[in-house]
A and B are shown apart, each in its own frame.
Chain A
Amino acid sequence: MNQSFTIPKFRLPAIIASIGQKLPQWPHTLTLVAGLNAALKMKLLPESELEALEDKLFRVRVLDTGGEASYTYRGGLFHPVFRPEREPDLAFAANLSAFLQLLARQEDPDTLFFNRELEITGDTELGLIVKNMLDAVEWPSLPKLPLFSR
């Protein structure tokens, strides 16, 4: 990938997290789901592995913004879940910079995990499937994805 810029490791002040928690959680949940569905539409995600995601509940928590998004995969699409009624099958938690570094393929999830910058809890095998699935995706140049064009 063309690495014309690098995302530095940073951590937002704790005050932002406490404000973030009080804000409605839906805008970034929708963005995330829209991005995933766009990837689906472009047939970027392998069908064989998608089966394993059916009806699973995922949660992404951004520690330093206090943001949280839950979503599920059902009937060939990702759907936001605004009021999850159970513990997620798989949960990721990290600071914003770590997520951005992951998305830009600047850092490897194992590296972030070893360095304790990325937390993965829940069904480990599901986590591995998701990680390997995203690794195997050949993203078109990133800015074309809705996730990045906001």
Chain B
Amino acid sequence: MSSLPDLICPAGSLPALKAAVDNGADAVYLGFKNDTNARNFAGLNFDQKNMTEGIRYAHAKGREVLLAINTFPQAGRVGDWQKAVDAAVDQGVDAIILADVGLLDYARQRHPQQRLHLSVQGSATSYEAINFCQREFGIKRAVLPRVLTLAQVENVIKNTTVEIEVFGFGSLCVMNEGRCWLSSYACGESPNTVGACSPAKYVKWDKQPGAMETRLNGILIDRFGDAEAAGYPTLCKGRFEVQGETYYALEEPTSLNVISILPEIMKIGVRAIKVEGRQRSPAYVTQVTRTLRAALDALAEGSERFHVKPAWQAELAKVSEGSQATLGAYSRPWR
């Protein structure tokens, strides 16, 4: 019998961290206030003082704190990323989530006792890649990119002793985890370089009569009618004219939502489920954590009796980007 997966929730601020802990997250993940993490937005994330307080709060309630250092060190500044690893160890986080092999190696050599997780940005989709990171860097857990079907996730789990974490809810990044440079195409900056996709300084929301236009560094990305749901200003979610037709050429703005397949996720032995959204507010963290906690608790009472409550789906649909949910790659018929 597999055990219930841990619920891992995002914290972009101290109030969000407390909201996650108070509403039933088993662990929270967070980042420093700099470009060593992929949600490096103005005003977001933790300085040393807030982090100390956050860790104290979570640990007092028996929850874990995972720290993401999930961008790739920039040439000439590798020391900044190494310092972030050292600072995380000093803070006493339960695990550090890393993407770069050089940093994994550094952490392993310098802090052999520190628990390490492989970030989704590390783009390891096969058990061979995961087992390699286990052998070389001693990783205890890997976060799988959102590109695998459920059967493929199961196959990975069967062939590794590394714990497997998957995404359970949140905005989708097109199927190119850790490798996307679309944002750089428009404005010269992207998650892997500055820690943010479509940095706010390049984004312009333009209110027109009857519509709102979104521009990234002057490039028109989308135009929403007054009754249409809006999405994040990223190129992957823009509508473009392709061969005379204007549509979401890359991806529709949607959110991933796995609530309906939780029993299968538990059955195949997924160790943890992650919620996206460190850029979101404490209100979002409260709503999503509370809902997924209720679903997981219902699952704990027996997967045969598990059924999805409409209220859960309504709550999650409300906070979703584009107000549509999908099972993403998990239920993809093609491979």
Contacts and interface: CB of A to CB of B under 8 A. Distances in A.
A127 B199 CA distance: 12
Contact of A116 (B15, B16, B43, B227): B227
Contact of A129 (B16, B42, B319): B42
A128 B13 contact: no
B319 A108 contact: yes
A44 to B, nearest CB: 11
B44 A114 contact: no
Given A107-B283, A125-B200, A132 B42 contact: yes
A103 B155 CA distance: 46
Contacts of A136: 13-15, 43-44, 50
A12 B163 CA distance: 52
Contacts of A133: 43
B230 interface: yes
A-B pairs, 5 with minimum CB distance: A132-B43, A108-B284, A125-B200, A136-B13, A108-B281
A106 B285 CA distance: 11
Interface stretch (B101-109, B131-139, B203-211, B240-248): B203-211
A105 B281 CA distance: 8
B86 interface: no
- Most B CB atoms within 10 A — which of A107, A114, A119, A127? A114
The number of chain A residues touching the other chain, given as a range, is: 20 to 34
B280 A108 contact: yes
A114 B14 contact: no
A130 B174 CA distance: 28
A116 B42 contact: no
A85 interface: no
Nearest to A109: B281
Contacts, number: 101
A56 interface: no
23 contacts: A49-B43, A52-B42, A106-B283, A107-B283, A108-B282, A108-B284, A108-B319, A109-B281, A111-B284, A114-B229, A114-B322, A115-B318, A116-B229, A124-B203, A125-B203, A128-B41, A128-B42, A131-B43, A135-B13, A136-B13, A136-B14, A136-B15, A136-B44
Contacts of A127: 200
A108 B322 CA distance: 14
B230 A113 contact: yes
Interface in B250-289: 279-284, 286-287
Interface of B: 12-16, 19, 41-44, 50, 199-201, 203-207, 212, 224, 226-231, 279-284, 286-287, 318-323
B199 A131 contact: no
A121 interface: yes
B206 A121 contact: yes
A109 B205 CA distance: 15
Contact of A125 (B201, B227, B280, B321): B201
A130 B320 CA distance: 22
B201 A121 contact: no
Contacts of B201: 124-125
Contact of A114 (B13, B19, B320): B320
A14 interface: no
Interface in A92-113: 105-111, 113
Given A124-B204, A125-B201, 8 more contacts: A1-B282, A105-B281, A105-B282, A105-B283, A108-B284, A119-B207, A131-B43, A136-B50
Contact of B229 (A52, A105, A115): A115
